[in-house]
C-alpha cells in the first residue's frame, strides 16, 4: 500500500491533534483513499522541547523549512504555524516546488489569498483551507462543491468561539464582560492578547475567506466594516433579553442588486432563531441559496481535534486519485474585485440605548430626531434608574439606512440632556 509522506509546519494544538487522528484513524483513512498518510518531518522552533504528543513513527523534527520544501518524498505540506511572513514564505516556496499545501491560516488568506491562489493556479497545485474557517464545520467544502450550483443570497455566521463564549456567559450567567473574558482565558478559549477575538478581527479574516467562496469575488479586508464586542454591557444583555433577543457577534454578507453588503458587528438576534441558541465556544453559519433555500451549519469552531478533522479532510482530498485543484471554487482564473455597497447604505433594524437626564420632553426630542431622519420606531421604553437623575431610554426601530441611524445617534449625543454616548446595535 502506498504511503503519502507529509511535511508539517507547526506542532501546537492543531498539529498535535492532526498527528493523533492520523495515528488513531490510519486504517480507516487507508480504506477510504487507498493510501496511508504519515507525517515525515515537522518544522518547529525547538526540536528539543518536551512534548506530550509525538508526530508518529519515524517522524523527525527540524528547524529549517528547506527540510520540507526540498524533500522529494514529501508531496504535500500542512502549514499550521500561523502568522504572516514565515507562513507566507513557506507556502510560496512549497507551491513553487510543486507541492500541494494545506493551511488553517485565515489571517494569511484574508491578507494575501489573491496572490497565493494565483501562484497555486500557475503551478497547478492545490491550496486547501477547510480548517481556516469555523474549525470542524465543513463550510468551505460545502460552498465550493455541495452548494456550488446556488447563488448565495445571504450568509450570516458566528465565527469566533471566544467572542461567542463571552457573550454566552454574559447572557446565561450574568457575568460582566471583563469577568467573562478572564474566564475564557483561564479555560484556554482566549489568548493572553485577545484583541483579534473581541474586536472582531478574527471574524473579519474568516468572512473575507467565505466571501470569495460564496460569491467568487475578492473583497479587500481593509474595506470590511468591523466592530467587536467590547462595547457590549450587561445592561444591554438584560434589555435585549427583555425584548426577546440575545446579542451575538455576527459576520454577514448579502447580495444587494449585484453589490455586496458585508460587515462584522454585534447584533440583537431573536431568541427563537437558531443562531441565538448557539452557545459557548461553538460556531454556526446560516446561508440562503436561491435553490437550496435556508441552510445552517453548527459545530465546534476551534480546538485540537475538530480543526484537525478539517485539515485531514483536505489531506485526504489531495491524496485521492485524480485530484484536480480548484482552490477558489471558480476555476484557475483570478477572481474579480467585489462591487461593494457603501456601508452607510446598509439597511437594518436598530437598537438604541440613550442615557439621558430624567426630565420632560426628552422622549419627544429623540422621537423627533428619528422622524427627521425617516426612521420609524417599532418599540420604545424608558427604564427606571436608582440614581433618579439619569435614565436609559431604549428604542427599537424598523429598517433604516446605517447613515441615518448613525446620524440620529450623533445628534442625540450632542443634546444637553444626554449623559453618556448612545449605544447602537443592529437587529438581525
Q: Is the pLDDT of residue 387 over 60?
A: no
Q: What is the pTM of this model?
A: 0.95
pLDDT at position 200: 98
At residue 285, the 3 state secondary structure works out as strand
Who contacts 235 (Cβ-Cβ below 8 Å, separation ≥6)? Answer: 353, 392
Let me know: does 163 contact 232? Beta carbons within 8 Å: no
* Cα separations in angstroms, 182 against 162, 176, 188, 377: 11, 10, 10, 38
Q: Is the pLDDT of residue 310 over 90?
A: yes
pLDDT band per the 50, 70, 90 thresholds, residue 97: very high
CA distance 318 to 91: 16
pLDDT at position 247: 99
- What does the pLDDT average to over 282-309? 96
- What does the pLDDT average to over 86-110? 98
pLDDT band per the 50, 70, 90 thresholds, residue 321: very high
Q: Is the pLDDT of residue 386 over 80?
A: no
pLDDT band per the 50, 70, 90 thresholds, residue 285: very high
pLDDT at position 379: 96
- What does the pLDDT average to over 382-399? 83
Catalytic residue set: 206
Q: Is the pLDDT of residue 139 over 90?
A: yes
- What does the pLDDT average to over 9-31? 96
C-alpha closest to that of 159 among 126, 208, 195: 208
- What does the pLDDT average to over 65-71? 98
Query: Strand 259-270 relative to strand 282-289: parallel, antiparallel, unpaired?
Result: unpaired
C-alpha closest to that of 6 among 122, 119, 102: 102
C-alpha closest to that of 351 among 275, 427, 408, 253: 427
Q: Domains of the chain (ranges plus CATH)?
A: 3-128+306-319 (3.40.50.720), 143-300 (3.30.360.10), 345-427 (3.30.70.260)
Q: Is the pLDDT of residue 53 over 90?
A: no
Q: Is the pLDDT of residue 1 over 80?
A: no
pLDDT at position 333: 87
Average pLDDT over the chain, rounded to whole?
96
**Tens-place pLDDT, residues 247-273:** 999 999 999 999 999 999 999 999 999
* DSSP assignment of 287-355: EEETTTEEEEEEEE-SSHHHHHHHHHHHHHHHHSTT----SSSS-SSPPEEPPB--GGG-EEEEEEEEE
**Tens-place pLDDT, residues 148-189:** 999 999 999 999 999 999 999 999 999 999 999 999 999 888
pLDDT at position 178: 96
Query: Strand 152-158 relative to strand 282-289: parallel, antiparallel, unpaired?
Result: antiparallel
C-alpha closest to that of 129 among 108, 107, 105: 105
Who contacts 342 (Cβ-Cβ below 8 Å, separation ≥6)? Answer: none
Q: Which residue has the cell 460545502?
A: 142
Amino acid at each position: 500500500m502506498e504511503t503519502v509522506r507529509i511535511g508539517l509546519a507547526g506542532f501546537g494544538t492543531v498539529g498535535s491533534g492532526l498527528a493523533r487522528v492520523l495515528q488513531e484513524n490510519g486504517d480507516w483513512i487507508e480504506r477510504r483513499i487507498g493510501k496511508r498518510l504519515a507525517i515525515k518531518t515537522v518544522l518547529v522552533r525547538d526540536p528539543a522541547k518536551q512534548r506530550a504528543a509525538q508526530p508518529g513513527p519515524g517522524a523527525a523534527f527540524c528547524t529549517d523549512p528547506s527540510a520540507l520544501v526540498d524533500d522529494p518524498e514529501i508531496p504535500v505540506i500542512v502549514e499550521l504555524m500561523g502568522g504572516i511572513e514565515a507562513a507566507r514564505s513557506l507556502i510560496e516556496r512549497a507551491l513553487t516546488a510543486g507541492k500541494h499545501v494545506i493551511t488553517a491560516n485565515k489571517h494569511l488568506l484574508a491578507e494575501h489569498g489573491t496572490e497565493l491562489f494565483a501562484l497555486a493556479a500557475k503551478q497547478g497545485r492545490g491550496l486547501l483551507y477547510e480548517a481556516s474557517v469555523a474549525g470542524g464545520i465543513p463550510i468551505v467544502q460545502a460552498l465550493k462543491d455541495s452548494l456550488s450550483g446556488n447563488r448565495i443570497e445571504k450568509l450570516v455566521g458566528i465565527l469566533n468561539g471566544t467572542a461567542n463564549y463571552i457573550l454566552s456567559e454574559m447572557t446565561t450567567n450574568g457575568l460582566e464582560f471583563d469577568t467573562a473574558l478572564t474566564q475564557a482565558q483561564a479555560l484556554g478559549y482566549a489568548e493572553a492578547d485577545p484583541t483579534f477575538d473581541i474586536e472582531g478581527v478574527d471574524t473579519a479574516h474568516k468572512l473575507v475567506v467565505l466571501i470569495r467562496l460564496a460569491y467568487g469575488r475578492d473583497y479587500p479586508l481593509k474595506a470590511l466594516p468591523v466592530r467587536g464586542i467590547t462595547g457590549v454591557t450587561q445592561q444591554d444583555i438584560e434589555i435585549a433579553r427583555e425584548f426577546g433577543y440575545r446579542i451575538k457577534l455576527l459576520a454577514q454578507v448579502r447580495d444587494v442588486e449585484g453589490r455586496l453588503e458585508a460587515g462584522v458587528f454585534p447584533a440583537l438576534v431573536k431568541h427563537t432563531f437558531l443562531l441565538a441558541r448557539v452557545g459557548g465556544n461553538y460556531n454556526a453559519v446560516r446561508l440562503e441559496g436561491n435553490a437550496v433555500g435556508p441552510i445552517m451549519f453548527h459545530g465546534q469552531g476551534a480546538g485540537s481535534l475538530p480543526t484537525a478533522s478539517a485539515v485531514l479532510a483536505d489531506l485526504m482530498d489531495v491524496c485521492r486519485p485524480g485530484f484536480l485543484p480548484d482552490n477558489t471554487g471558480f476555476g484557475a482564473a483570478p477572481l474579480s474585485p467585489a462591487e461593494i455597497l457603501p456601508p452607510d447604505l446598509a439597511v437594518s433594524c436598530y437598537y438604541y440605548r440613550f442615557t439621558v437626564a430624567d426630565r420632560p420632553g426628552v422622549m419627544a426630542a429623540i422621537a423627533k430626531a428619528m422622524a427627521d431622519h425617516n426612521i420609524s420606531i417599532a418599540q420604545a421604553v424608558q427604564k427606571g434608574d436608582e440614581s433618579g437623575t439619569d435614565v436609559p431610554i431604549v428604542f427599537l426601530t424598523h429598517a433604516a439606512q446605517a447613515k441615518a441611524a448613525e446620524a440620529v445617534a450623533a445628534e442625540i449625543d450632542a443634546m444637553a440632556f444626554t449623559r453618556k454616548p448612545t449605544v447602537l446595535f443592529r437587529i438581525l
